Amino acid sequence: MLLECVLAIVLFVGAGLSVLAMTDAASETARAMREAQQAADLAASALAEIEAGALTPETAGGDPTKWIDPTGRWTGGLDRWSGWELRVDTQPTERDGLVCVTVSVYRGDSETKPAIFVLHQVVRLGSPPADDIGDDDPLAVDMGMEAGR
């Protein structure tokens, strides 16, 4: 009878330890998935900024907080982006004017750790739009009107 009780306790403790090990593995997987989702969001945001012309590939690399909040006035959630690093590379394509932009996202040092997320997209890079607000509109000039009237 004593042997049966000891055997039952050993089985119960073994089952408990295996459940704890599975819980630890599941929480580590959830953390890795959350980190991968944040990296994907960061890469997509950087690529969208480049595609829109708000950033260049040269200014998008490095610490993302410098372009997420360039004014330093954003008060919420900026600390979640600290510790991330972006590397942005460009490759010419066969199409004239199009460039393949690769955004690699790292957590920590990009020299020692592999990229958590890599995003490739073909983008047309160009100069920023001209600031011609307030200039005479060619249609208005043809109609005999001037700006400011």
Rounded to whole angstroms, the Cα distance separating 72 from 35 reads: 24
Q: Mind listing the pLDDT tens digit for each residue in 66-124?
A: 777 666 666 666 666 778 889 999 999 898 889 999 999 998 766 778 888 999 999 88
Single pTM value for the model: 0.66
Summarize the confidence of residues 123-129 as an average pLDDT: 73
Rounded to whole angstroms, the Cα distance separating 15 from 12 reads: 5
Query: How far apart, in Å, are the Cα atoms of 131 and each of 55, 95, 127, 128?
Result: 17, 28, 12, 9
